[in-house]
Chain A
Amino acid sequence: MSIEYTSSEMMTVTAARALENGMTCFVGIGLPSEAANLARLTHAPDVVLIYESGTLQTKPEVLPLSIGDGELCESALTTVAVPEMFRYWLQGGKISVGFLGTAQIDRYANLNTTLIGDYHDPKVRLPGGGGAPEIATNAGEVFITLKHSKRALVKDVDFVTTLGFGRDGKGRDGVPNIGKGPTRVITDLCVMKPDPETKELTVVSLHPGVSREDVVEATGWEIRFAGELESTPEPSERELEVLRELKARTERQHAGD
């Protein structure tokens, strides 16, 4: 099969495939939300999606513009207060996967959504941590998806808003009662996983048509590649169709706004 698709679609489909039926997923807005809903509408109809606004087991028809859209609440099994969401459901250990996006990520998968530059004299002030710091430690594992660029994938983040494996890769060692942390990072070029020993992000799969040089060129550190480098399977016709319909529905809905 060979149908045309964009690198963004490749990324979303690959991210969606990381989710399985039976997982309970705490979903971040934007790319993670797109991937999580694609998973629900294709191979994982019973994946449980949870958003920090308090919506449990939600099945939105269109992608939410914000984390607390009415659509999320109307299509949810139930909606709980935000303190309950974080205390019982996330901290209580009921979430298997946290699915996050980010502005910056470093080689140890630490995330920065706080600022660029110095904290007290920022060049760019970003929105901040929101739910991510605790999603990343209280969920069983973490998937991260973002567009691949040198500005976003940096050797050391300006600020660790959200723990990957710490500035030395040992940030989770010996810390009790927290999750495994980032187990995969999906970009529009490749899939990366932490090295089992050093925790440094390593490319394990290249998307079709992407070369090692493309990834090296777009990464802010000397990126390593796994010995047995895989090629990410292409999106299927059905995945593309469902994704495009979802995005078109979403656009139609928000165009009226």
Chain B
Amino acid sequence: MQQLGMGQAINQALREEMFRDPDVFLAGEGIGTGIHHSPMLPTAGLLKEFGPGRVKDTPVSEAAIAGLAVGASVAGLRPVVEIMFNPFFTLASDMIVNHAAKLRYLSGGKSSFPLVVRMKSGAGIGAGCQHSHNLEAWVAHSPGLKVVMPATAADAKGLLKSAIRDPNPVIFIEDIMLYFVPGAVPEEEYLIPIGKADVKRQGKDVTVATWSKMLGVAMKAADQLAREGIEIEIVDLRTLVPLDKDTVLGSIRKTGRLVVLHEATRTGGFAGEVAALAMEEAFESLKAPLRRVTGPDIPVPASPPLERFYIPDEEKLIAAVKDILK
């Protein structure tokens, strides 16, 4: 099987969907003639292959990029637009939160907005807080948007292909660090359904619910814990909206314990949603109070030791797991 970084896997997904459907087009800042020419990046080479009619380099105008997607999608095109970094979503958010998400509802279901907004997210690049800020809870809190955050290259490819074919607005958040983590990606065409979590590791003692880059942290922690005889079960949510409650609840009922792990800051983070789900629907199964392992409530700092402190690591997860096993 081919080994690809997530950026390359996304590139394949975009390429395949553009070949399949002439209504699919791409737009964003520097997506064609990028400042960075790494072949590991998601839109590398696509301008050359599909031409400037379908790969649109835009001005630095996030509201216009998002509006382009809203207006083009209501006409039945399938825009896949890129917001360069997740924090810049704030500039596009009116178009997405007030328009893409709501206009179908306001029309009584008559108008559809089949668009995808891809955003780079996550700390670890030393760029500081205006480039690194995980905002998935913001979008998840806006009814009308689907929210996808893949953790592996293979998942990213299959989920993005589903997102492009989805008749609804989909927010597709890619952790930058994952672009450079190789993973096995099937050669043949495949789709991964939006709204289906994946148990990435079976275990009997504690459920760890996580997504995006934090899956890697959970997997490493699992190996260490296994050496001490503790078996964690890792549920990769993959999609925050719609949330695959059945898989999460099934795992909690199996292990009786839950830790939710994400990189975003703690207050109002999506871990709270998963925690509330566990309390409301699986309280009788819980043998101990659940735990959240998250980033602290601070903007992401730039200096390497400060940034490392910000990002949850194996140590913090292992401590939380051991804590609720006491």
Q: Do A and B form a real pair?
A: no
Q: Which B residues contact A (CB, under 8 angstroms)?
A: none
